[in-house]
């Protein structure tokens, strides 16, 4: 017996390692229309909610993906913190700065952290959390860095607009660097190393 469209889509979403966009699903399900695919997704979402399952279908990073329900956050947050802790303190600090100041130059990150970050940036790019987003129109044409779609998935964000703004986080502070520190706390990142203090994580400086 041929499985239903809902069953096929559910299976695709179940095995997907990243959010699947409507376009990706449509390409895999040709000649099924996008309208029928979206209807099936909406029906699946409604069924999960009616059954009170621990998960639902959410839109994250421009696609659809299974996600646990928000009310489970107090219990599942412990697991998420464990996942985040797999990144070093230096990596988490650098990632938070990139997230809130992107596109940002390496020298700007180093000004805030107070240490060299070349090695940390390379590691974050290898883990597909940070990417090169172009070059700044300055002498030497320095590279600028931004977060990736994988970053959104890692922190369960639909898009960057779901990041709390620096103004929301630090309404009482006029110092942007202090706002970044507050932003790190909002994402359960550790506080940055004080300027000038070496945390032992720096790599040899890039040219």
115-140 pLDDT, tens digit each:
999 889 999 998 889 999 999 998 88
115 and 40 belong to one structural domain? no
Last residue of a domain, one of 72, 89, 120: 72
* Nearest Cα residue to 73 out of 155, 192, 165: 155
* Nearest Cα residue to 183 out of 87, 102, 118, 126: 102
Q: Rounded distance, CA 188 to CA 84, Å?
A: 9
Total domains present in the chain: 2
User: Is residue 90 included in any domain, yes or no?
Assistant: yes
140 and 85 belong to one structural domain? yes
Largest CA distance in the chain: 67
User: Is residue 197 included in any domain, yes or no?
Assistant: no
DSSP annotation of 153: H
55 and 93 belong to one structural domain? no
Is the confidence at residue 180, as pLDDT, over 90? no
Q: Rounded distance, CA 54 to CA 72, Å?
A: 8
128-172 pLDDT tens trace:
899 999 999 988 889 999 999 888 887 777 788 877 665 554 443
Is the confidence at residue 10, as pLDDT, over 90? yes
User: What residues pair up with 52 in beta bridges, in sequence order?
Assistant: none
Domain hosting residue 175, numbered range: 81-186
85 and 159 belong to one structural domain? yes
* Nearest Cα residue to 206 out of 116, 135, 133: 116
Last residue of a domain, one of 43, 72, 101: 72
43 and 106 belong to one structural domain? no
Q: Which residues contact 39 (CB under 8 A, 6 or more apart)?
A: none
User: Is residue 31 included in any domain, yes or no?
Assistant: yes
Q: Rounded distance, CA 127 to CA 120, Å?
A: 11
Last residue of a domain, one of 72, 93, 116: 72
32 and 13 belong to one structural domain? yes
Quickly count: other Cβ atoms within 10 Å of residue 161's Cβ.
7
13 and 90 belong to one structural domain? no
Q: Rounded distance, CA 33 to CA 41, Å?
A: 13
User: Is residue 196 included in any domain, yes or no?
Assistant: no
User: Is residue 98 included in any domain, yes or no?
Assistant: yes
CATH code of 155's domain: 1.10.10.10
Q: What is the pLDDT of residue 74?
A: 77
């Amino acid at each position: 017996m041929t499985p239903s469209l809902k069953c096929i889509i559910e299976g695709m979403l179940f095995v997907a390692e990243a959010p699947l966009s409507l376009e990706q699903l449509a390409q895999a399900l040709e000649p099924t229309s996008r309208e029928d695919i979206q209807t099936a997704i909406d029906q699946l979402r409604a069924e999960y909610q009616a059954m009170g399952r621990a998960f639902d279908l959410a839109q994250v990073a421009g696609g659809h993906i299974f996600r646990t329900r928000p009310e489970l956050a107090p219990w599942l947050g412990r697991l998420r913190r464990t996942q985040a802790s797999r990144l070093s303190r230096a990596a988490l600090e650098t990632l938070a700065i990139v997230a809130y100041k992107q596109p940002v130059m390496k020298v700007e990150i180093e000004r805030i952290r107070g240490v060299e970050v070349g090695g940390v940036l390379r590691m974050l790019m290898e883990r597909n959390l940070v990417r090169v987003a172009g070059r700044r129109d300055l002498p030497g044409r320095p590279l600028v860095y931004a977060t990736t779609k994988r970053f959104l998935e890692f922190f369960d964000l639909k898009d960057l607009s779901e990041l709390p703004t620096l103004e929301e986080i630090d309404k009482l502070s006029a110092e942007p660097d202090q706002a970044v520190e507050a932003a790190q706390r909002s994402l359960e990142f550790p506080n940055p190393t004080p300027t000038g203090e070496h945390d032992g994580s720096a790599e040899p400086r890039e040219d």
